[in-house]
Amino acid sequence: MDYKIKSYSEMDTIELAQNIESEKFKNMVICLEGDLGSGKTIFTKGFARSMEIKEPVTSPTFNIIKEYTTGEMPLYHMDLYRLDGNVEDLGIEDYYKKGGICIIEWADMIEDYLPRHYLKIKFKIIDENTRLITIEPKGSKYEELCEAVL
């Protein structure tokens, strides 16, 4: 089952991220899709803030993977925009089992490298402030998470 939510501000997107963070678990994978400026990094910032990560969270476009280890558990923030799907040498699949949380921006570019179970979140720009966010759980753990917070 897909869940559709309208976000009317950055704060709405942050609150959604905080709600999802409240049900986090080790080795959780969140895959974000959407155009530039649609809210993917805002979501990640809200999620990280709820995890009590103190360092500033920015889009890792040039770094590809940023590791934040100062919070409740590690957060691995990936931005695959510049890779054109070529991730074989990055060891991305290793991050899925490191005991933290992976948030992957532009995850649709690496569908063959995603785990079997994950939370897919799509951001669609409606207008300057409004976003349609579609959440699609892949696997029972993610379905239970959605039932708990949406």
Topology at the third CATH level for domain 3-149: Rossmann fold (3.40.50)
- Residues 6-51 pLDDT 10s: 999 999 999 999 999 999 999 999 999 999 999 999 999 999 999 9
- Residues 74-96 pLDDT 10s: 999 998 887 765 677 788 899 99
C-beta atoms surrounding 146 within 10 Å: 18
Reported pTM: 0.95
Integer Cα distance of 137 and 102 in angstroms: 15
Tokens 């999620």: give the residue. Answer: 47
- Please check whether residue 105 is in contact with residue 80, taking contact to mean a CB–CB distance below 8 angstroms: yes
The pLDDT mean for the chain works out to: 93
Integer Cα distance of 59 and 119 in angstroms: 19
Integer Cα distance of 45 and 62 in angstroms: 17
DSSP for 118-150 reads EEEEEEEE-SSS-EEEEEEEESHHHHHHHHHH-
| Better pLDDT: 60 or 68 | 68
Integer Cα distance of 74 and 88 in angstroms: 22
